[in-house]
């Protein structure tokens, strides 16, 4: 019995290592823009305000998953027209959780979504008003890192809105720090 558990643990470890190696080789590194000395993330962080944290259908810890070496782009892809980052397909989660922690209630719920071939109904944390046009790709192509807008996600057990990037102040302030366009037509039609 002990030997069987060791064999299973070894197989899971090898599968995880292979997945991480694939990710490291298959996804090219992104060049990052130098951060201006004037950039102060604390100016984009909420002060004396607790943004509401939506209740998600399945508890998910970014802290735990990022500590394993996963990167944002592994789960959140930016397909054409490259405006909105996507949530991972249920099958991507099950790639690991078919064997890892499969007896936990949250993973069993995940498995139910996968069996029904349903996407997980995640609740979006960051939302922009419909009258604002914005593209993740523009910011990613400029070399900005996810943490600059979304805060220290790698330290978050529960994802919540950590910065004011969805406010006009947040956008204009950041654009001023990076010395880029701030005219109305930059974000509005």
Burial class (CB in 10 A: 0-12, 13-18, 19+), 1: exposed
User: Which residues on neighbouring strands pair with residue 45, listed in sequence order?
Assistant: 163
Q: Are 137 and 72 in a shared domain?
A: yes
What string of DSSP letters covers 113-169? HHHTTPPP-PPPSS---TT----HHHHHHTT--HHHHH--GGG-SS----B-TTSHH
Q: Which residues are bridge partners to 146 per DSSP?
A: none
Q: Is residue 93 part of a domain?
A: no
Pair (70, 126) in one structural domain: yes
d(CA 174, CA 167): 11
Identify whether the C-beta of residue 78 lies closer than 8 Å to the C-beta of residue 140.
yes
How far, in Å, CA of 28 to CA of 24, rounded? Answer: 8
Where in the sequence is the domain holding 170, given as residue range(s)? 32-87+122-186
Q: Is residue 171 part of a domain?
A: yes
- pLDDT at position 3 is 55
Whether residues 14 and 78 share a domain: the answer is: no
Q: With 0-12 CB in 10 A as exposed, 13-18 as middle and 19+ as buried, what is 93? A: buried
Series of mean pLDDT values for 10-residue runs along the chain (189 residues): 49 38 35 54 56 89 95 91 90 95 96 96 91 91 90 92 87 90 91
Co-location of 142 and 181 in the same domain: yes
Predicted confidence at residue 2, as pLDDT, reads: 56
Same domain, 177 and 126: yes
Per-residue confidence (pLDDT) for residue 70, from 0 to 100: 92
Flag whether 116 is in a domain: no
Per the domain annotation, does 51 fall within a domain?
A: yes
CA-to-CA distance for 56 and 40, rounded, in angstroms?
30
Q: Are residues 18 and 52 in the same domain?
A: no
Q: What is the model's pLDDT at position 16?
A: 39
This prediction's pTM: 0.69
Residue tagged 């890892």 (tokens): 100
Number of structural domains found in the chain? 2
Query: CB–CB of 71/23 below 8 Å?
Result: yes
pLDDT for the residue 10: 40
78 and 4 in a common domain = no
DSSP 14: H
**Looking at the structure, do residues 71 and 18 belong to the same domain, yes or no?**
no
């Amino acid at each position: 019995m002990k030997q069987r558990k060791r064999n299973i643990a070894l197989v899971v470890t090898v599968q995880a290592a292979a997945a991480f190696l694939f990710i490291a080789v298959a996804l090219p590194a992104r060049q990052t823009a130098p951060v201006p000395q004037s950039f102060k993330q604390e100016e984009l962080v909420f002060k004396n305000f607790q943004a509401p944290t939506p209740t998600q259908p399945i508890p998910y810890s970014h802290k735990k998953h990022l500590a394993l070496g996963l990167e944002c782009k592994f789960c959140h892809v930016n397909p054409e027209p490259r405006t909105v980052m996507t949530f991972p397909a249920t099958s991507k989660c099950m790639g690991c959780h078919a064997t890892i922690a499969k007896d936990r209630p949250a993973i069993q719920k995940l498995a139910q979504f996968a069996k029904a071939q349903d996407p997980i109904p995640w609740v979006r944390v960051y939302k922009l008003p419909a009258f604002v046009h914005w593209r993740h790709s523009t910011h990613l192509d400029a070399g900005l890192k996810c943490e600059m807008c979304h805060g220290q996600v790698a330290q978050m057990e529960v994802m919540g809105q950590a910065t004011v990037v969805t406010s006009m102040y947040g956008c204009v302030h950041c654009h001023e720090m990076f010395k880029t366009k701030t005219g109305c037509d930059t974000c509005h039609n």
